Amino acid sequence: MKYLAAVAAASALILSGCGGSDSSDNSTQKTANVSFAISDAPVDDAQSVTIAFTQVELIRQNGERIMLDVEPESPGVDYQQLDLLDYQGADSELIITEKPIPVGEYKNLILHISSESNVNFVVDNNGTQPLKQPSNKLQLGGFTVTEDATQAFTIEFDLRKSLVLRGNSNNNNGYILKPHGVSIIDNESAATLNGAITTITDTCLATEDNFVYLYQGSGLDSAKLGDLYDEGDEEFSSTVPEGTIAPYATTKLDDAGTYEFGFLPSGDYTLALYCAGEEDNSIQFDGLTIPQPTGQVKETTLVEGETTTVDF
């Protein structure tokens, strides 16, 4: 799995503040250096998800806004461009490197995206499609900065949840990115989960459409394991059975039958294999049978800073 984002290596970044705190606090206010990186989990039928980022905006609990400007890589532009699919699993790309900001609680992180034409796009099975971001911003929610010397965060995009095509093949309104499925993870507390199919080759390895669904918690009722859906989406119209457990994340198995989730919070998890099944609509509840084949469910406990392997 991965952290949300999009931009090529950021060689230098400029820190600027919009809206200051009270001057009497500035002399004693504690700061910490922070870094932000981008990572993602793959999405069905997309070969590229390219975004041009211009700024990272941080909003403190008191309303103060801090702007971290991404320095352009090329003359004449004000953005950095990144293909999210280049940074999957435990791979990530820094977009902000060791910038001092006040310690404490932040209620929102906002990624600013360029409004220029043709710099944000998705390449899918039908060619190159526009990626249009409402207000050219992606609001991701809060996080905490401690007094550690340097604190590294990863913005992890689960593109199967967050990347949505509005309209259809006959009325294509372009893709958008939603905050649903995007997490801000403190790297120090993050864990990695990987594994492979070792015995079910006849069912799974004969097709490309194989996934691992990840659920938070253990001792779950496997009959209640649900597929992807987003009740907060404007197009949501499904009826979700009572007690359905929504997946925390999903990832696709590669051609060798292996998978990897990166930047996961520590804790108990349940994994379910989903092989050669129907397509999962990320907005509507589809009632897919998970796990598939029957019985392919595993449990594990992830420890911060460690990699855990779970095979099927």
Can you tell me the mean pLDDT for 254-264? 90
What pLDDT shows up at residue 96? Answer: 86
DSSP-based three-state secondary structure for 222: helix
Rg of the chain over Cα atoms, rounded to whole angstroms, equals: 20
What pLDDT shows up at residue 254? Answer: 86
What pLDDT shows up at residue 299? Answer: 98
Q: Which of 170-184, 236-250, 254-268 has maximum average pLDDT? A: 236-250
Secondary structure element (H or E) that encloses residue 162, with its range: helix 159-162
Q: Quote the CA–CA distance of 310 and 312 in Å, as a whole number.
A: 7
Q: What is the pLDDT of residues 90-141, one digit of tens each?
A: 899 888 888 999 999 999 999 999 999 999 999 988 889 999 888 899 999 9
Residue 200's pLDDT band (cuts 50, 70, 90): low
Q: What is the pLDDT of residues 203-254, one digit of tens each?
A: 676 667 889 999 999 999 999 999 999 999 989 999 999 999 999 999 988 8
Question: What average pLDDT is seen over the chain?
Answer: 85
Least confident segment among 5-14, 42-51, 72-81, 190-199: 5-14
Sign of torsion, CA 271 272 275 281?
A: negative
Share of the chain above pLDDT 90, in %: 54
Higher pLDDT, 77 or 172: 77
Give buried/exposed letters for 164-201 (b at 16+ CB in 10 A, else e).
bbeeeeeeeebbbbbbbbbbbbbbeebbbbbbebeeee
Q: Which residues pair with 126 in a beta bridge?
A: none
Domain ranges of the chain: 13-179, 192-309
181 token code pair: 């499925």
Angle, alpha carbons 297-1-257 (nearest 5°): 55
Q: What architecture (CATH level 2) is domain 192-309?
A: Sandwich (2.60)
Q: Is 238 exposed, middle or buried (0-12, 13-18, 19+ CB in 10 A)?
A: middle
| pTM for the model | 0.81
Q: For the chain, what is the largest distance between any 2 Cα atoms, rounded to a whole number of angstroms? A: 69
